[in-house]
């Protein structure tokens, strides 16, 4: 059951509105760690229109080759078109491990791509472990309370990787050759109708120095008033996890996480939030993190500088008093 990295490692470099996503350099960092164990050529693949600048940026990061797949059918993202475009190109590099960012695109196409390459689909990965026979991948499960250890059994594998999980590769190198391929894709049953801003994110939240974020552990809507009062007392911006926005207790522009805002305040108070990766992705860079959660096993404690294991509504009451007493 050998899982040495194969001769080819491919990094899928995604772009957000034309610019290279931070995940591209992170996946490259992971690829370098994997390649460290054997002689592997690392190549990057980009898909889309108008990405020449992003591809050239990638080419400067010390790769063997950068391949840019273009075509009128690839202007907007769709899973079926990407799998069509990627399959022949990746087949030619086989056997390979293909690293895909586990973002809204990667989680969409990686499984189907793995089928069309007859490769394993593994992920989302947030860590590596060295074991007998090479690296094994750690994938969060059970709400983040456990990490599953996995390894592909096939020569080829499509491996999705959580954004933010690995440090970005900082190495630069001579510009890698850039190969541009124009690919005709046909997805007759699918029409793009454009992209919109959606709910966006609150400016005030993104710029806040102090954020008080509430999650489902708040229990009842009535308890929201207390959280608001405490936020005011701490001069903090009120934010929350996705479920509270779904419930309508907060606006979606107050959501922190993968599908909300990414914040890096000096202080982040996570109140009744479990610490799912989709949430922590948006706040893990905060200066000082305080977790308040009655479950000592909640994964948010792993990220915290300070933990309070307590019933949230009761603790909010005490905090309000303590905060008022000395101001």
Segment 147 to 166, residues that bind another protein, using CB under 8 A: 147-154, 157
Task: Note whether 163 and 101 are within 8 A (CB).
Answer: yes
Q: Which three-class secondary structure string do you get for 98-128?
A: EEEECCCCHHHHHHHHHHHCCCEEEEEECEE
- Between the alpha carbon of residue 146 and those of residues 149, 277, 290, the distances in Å are 10, 12, 21
Interface with ligand FAD includes 211 (CB under 6 A)? no
Q: Which is nearer to another protein, 43 or 301 (CB)?
A: 301
Q: Which is nearer to another protein, 9 or 211 (CB)?
A: 211
Task: Note whether 158 and 114 are within 8 A (CB).
Answer: yes
List binders of ligand FAD among 242-261 (CB under 6 A).
242-243, 255-260
Q: Which is nearer to ligand FAD, 156 or 257 (CB)?
A: 257
Q: Specify which residues 256 forms β-bridges with.
A: 261
Q: Which one of 28-36, 44-52, 87-95, 255-263 is the stretch in contact with another protein (CB under 8 A)? A: 255-263
List binders of another protein among 77-96 (CB under 8 A).
77-80, 83
Of ligand FAD, another protein, none, which one sits near residue 232, judging by CB under 5 to 8 A according to partner kind? none
Interface with ligand FAD includes 217 (CB under 6 A)? yes
Q: Specify which residues 8 forms β-bridges with.
A: 41, 96
Name every residue whose Cβ is closer than 8 Å to that of residue 301 and which is 6 or more positions away in sequence: 275, 291, 293, 307, 309
Interface with another protein includes 218 (CB under 8 A)? no
Task: Note whether 78 and 192 are within 8 A (CB).
Answer: yes
List binders of ligand FAD among 295-324 (CB under 6 A).
295, 298, 311-312
Contacting residues toward ligand FAD, per CB under 6 A: 143, 215-217, 219, 241-243, 255-260, 272-274, 276, 278-279, 282, 293-295, 298, 311-312
């Amino acid at each position: 059951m050998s899982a040495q990295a194969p001769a080819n490692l491919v990094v899928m470099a995604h772009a957000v509105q034309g610019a290279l996503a931070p995940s591209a350099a992170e996946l490259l960092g992971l690829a370098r760690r994997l390649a460290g164990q054997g002689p592997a050529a690392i190549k990057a693949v980009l898909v889309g229109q108008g990405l020449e600048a992003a591809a050239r940026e990638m080419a400067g990061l010390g790769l063997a080759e950068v391949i840019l797949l273009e075509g009128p059918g690839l202007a907007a993202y769709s899973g079926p078109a990407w799998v069509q475009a990627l399959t022949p190109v990746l087949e030619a590099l086989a056997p390979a491990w293909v690293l895909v960012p586990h973002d809204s695109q990667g989680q969409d196409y990686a499984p189907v791509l793995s089928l069309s390459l007859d490769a394993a689909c593994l992920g989302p990965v947030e860590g590596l472990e060295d074991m007998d026979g090479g690296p094994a991948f750690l994938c969060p499960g059970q709400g983040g309370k456990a990490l599953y250890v996995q390894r592909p059994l096939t020569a080829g594998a499509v491996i999705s990787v959580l954004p933010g999980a690995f440090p970005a590769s900082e190495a630069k190198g001579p510009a890698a050759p850039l190969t541009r391929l124009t690919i005709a894709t046909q997805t007759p049953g699918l029409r793009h109708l454009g992209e919109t801003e959606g709910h966006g994110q609150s400016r005030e939240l993104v710029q806040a120095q102090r954020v008080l974020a509430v999650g489902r552990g708040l229990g009842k809507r009535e308890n929201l008033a207390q959280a608001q009062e405490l936020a005011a007392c701490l001069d903090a911006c009120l934010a929350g996890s996705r479920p509270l926005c779904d419930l309508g207790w907060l606006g979606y522009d107050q959501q922190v996480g993968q599908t909300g805002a990414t914040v890096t305040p000096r202080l982040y108070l996570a109140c009744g939030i479990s610490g799912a990766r989709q949430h922590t992705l948006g706040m893990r860079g905060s200066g000082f993190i305080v977790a308040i959660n009655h479950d000592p096993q909640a994964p948010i404690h792993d990220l915290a500088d300070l933990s309070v294991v307590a019933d949230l509504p009761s603790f909010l009451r005490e905090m309000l008093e303590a905060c008022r007493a000395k101001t």
